Structure 1
Amino acid sequence: MADQHAELTWTEDQVPVSDRFDDPYYSLQNGQEETRHVFLAGNGLPERFAPGFHIAELGFGTGLNLLTVWSEWERSGQTGPLRFTSFEAFPMATDDMRRALGAFPELHPWSSRFLAHWTGRACNLETLQCEVIIGDARNSLPQWAGMANAWFLDGFSPAKNPELWGTELMQQVAAHTATDGTAATYTAAGFVRRGLQDAGFTVTRTSGYGRKRHMTRALKA
């Protein structure tokens, strides 16, 4: 069965918006700074980087989170590969990814290398081992054998994409998180925080990015 690709509309500022979920792929203010604030700082990165570090993600989107964290991985002096696994139900076409990432010229040294080796499901380079698992994460995550040191929970808004934020999926996130692993997300929705807490995380609400007053950080002891 062929993958169902993302269907997009582009704003005047060239931000891709999902037609299916009526939600932009990243902050209309500054997508890369949102990634740094929510997913990097929210998971204590790059301070926690270590050989073999493994990040998992719900919602690959444009690849912006991956490229931002990979750039920091290389800048930090790591020479082995960053391991990155993402779960994506509706992958973006490569040409659309290229167009979206063109808005971040500072990432060009990483986006150009990534796109040159991107198969649509994986990208393996000396400092990056990336796999995107296509399909509904509610089905694919329970079958995954990996354990993540950090999670980027980056599905579309819980109000518009609730299936990616349910209690059972949060339990699977916890089951695939290493001891002392973390998770971070831009949303502070009560049912998401409760789902993470019920799954065994210690959950903290902290200051969000831009117009979002709060975000969520979680720690698995």
Structure 2
Amino acid sequence: MTDQTAKLDWKGGVPIARAFDDPYYSLENGLAETEHVFLAGNDLPARFGGDFHIAELGFGTGLNLLVTWAAWDKAARPGELHFTSFEAFPMEPHDMRAALANFPTLFPYAETLLAEWTPGAGTVALTDGPTLHVIIGDARETLPVWQGKADAWFLDGFSPAKNPELWEPDLLRAVADHTKPGGTAATYSAAGHIRRSLTEAGFAVTRIPGYGRKRHMTRGRLTRAE
């Protein structure tokens, strides 16, 4: 594990991970990107209801959480939302605040997150919101021993070309191992080796239109038996 925090550069108000030379979200519109890739890619919010568990590779700014939380509130269905994220390099709270300031419609959610969660806090029940658990450390070590299973996965590591560790076949197999039967996964990446690894892990994989300038992205539904 590591408690090393993220080192950033900034471009037009968007944080860039110095270690990977990659932005945390789309330079065009990070909120719209999350809605297209991770919500629509997992058939959300249509599947919301009951106790629903989302897991994620890469917490970053917390944007995916906030967009999901807002969609959950808007859907207004009974149940509880659980959100687990695996993050090796947590962002400093002041950097998160600066990054999330780009999304004024999410301001109330961001304020609650920043007031109630800090890296290493463990499981936090956010006020009027989801139960959040950000697991700090290398996902290749922390995910295989995680005791949970997700209804939907947001595979949101940095570009596979720049952050290959989060796209290794063994890790994607661990994602499948921690997915409920019929559960889903979505990622902005359409790289052939990722689609093959997800298929080998037990997902039925589809390539669909991506967000913005990205022609394609990937979605999958777990079809293998437990």
Q: Report the 3-state secondary structure (helix = DSSP H, G, I; strand = E; otherwise coil) of the residue aligned with 1:47.
A: coil
1:89, 1:137 within 8 Å by CA — same for their partners in 2? yes
| Corresponding residue of 1:207 | 209
Q: What pairs with 1:179-218 in structure 2 (closer than 5 Å)?
A: 179-218=181-220
How far has the Cα of 1:81 moved from its partner?
2.9
Q: Secondary structure of 2:143's partner?
A: helix
Aligned counterparts of 1:69 and 1:127: Cα–Cα separation in 2 = 10
SS of 2:189's partner is coil
CA RMSD of aligned residues (A): 1.2
Runs of 5+ consecutive residues of structure 2 not aligned to the other structure: none
CA contact (8 A) 2:184 2:220 kept: yes
Partner-residue secondary structure (3-state), 2:144: helix
Match of 1:72 in 2: 71
State the distance in 1 between where 2:158 and 2:130 align: 25
What residue in structure 1 maps to residue 142 of structure 2? Answer: 140
Specify the code of the residue in structure 2 equivalent to 1:162: P
Moved more, 2-11 or 41-50: 2-11
Name the stretch that deviates more: 108-117 or 63-72: 108-117
Query: What do the CA deviations read for 1:92-115 (whole angstroms, capped 9, x no partner)?
Result: 001100110000000012111111
TM-score by length of 2: 0.95
Distance verdict in 2 for CA 1:160–1:53, change over 3 Å: same
Question: Which residue identity lines up with residue 90 of structure 1 in the other structure?
Answer: F
Structure 1 moving runs of 4+ over 6 Å = none
Conservation of the 8 A alpha-carbon contact between 1:80 and 1:127: no
* Letter in structure 2 aligned against 1:131: H
Q: CA deviation at 1:22?
A: 0.3
What does the per-residue CA deviation read over 1:35-58, in whole Å, with 9 as the maximum and x for residues that have no partner?
000000000000000111000000
- Alpha carbons 2:54, 2:153 under 8 Å: kept: yes
Equivalent pairs counted in the alignment come to 220
Counterpart residue number, 1:33: 32
CA distance in 2 between counterparts of 1:59 and 1:108 reads: 21
Supply the distance in 1 between the matched residues of 2:89 and 2:175 (Cα, whole angstroms). 20
Q: Percent identity?
A: 61
| Gap change, CA 1:138 and 1:2, over 3 Å in 2 | closer
Q: Secondary structure at the match of 1:91?
A: coil
The aligned counterpart of 1:176 is 178
Tell me, yes or no, if the aligned pair for 2:2 and 2:89 is still in contact at 8 Å: no
Alignment match, 2:47: 48
- Which secondary structure state, in structure 2, belongs to the residue aligned with residue 143 of structure 1? coil
After superposition, the C-alpha distances for 1:110-151 in whole angstroms (9 at most, x for unaligned) are 111111111324431243100000000000001100000000
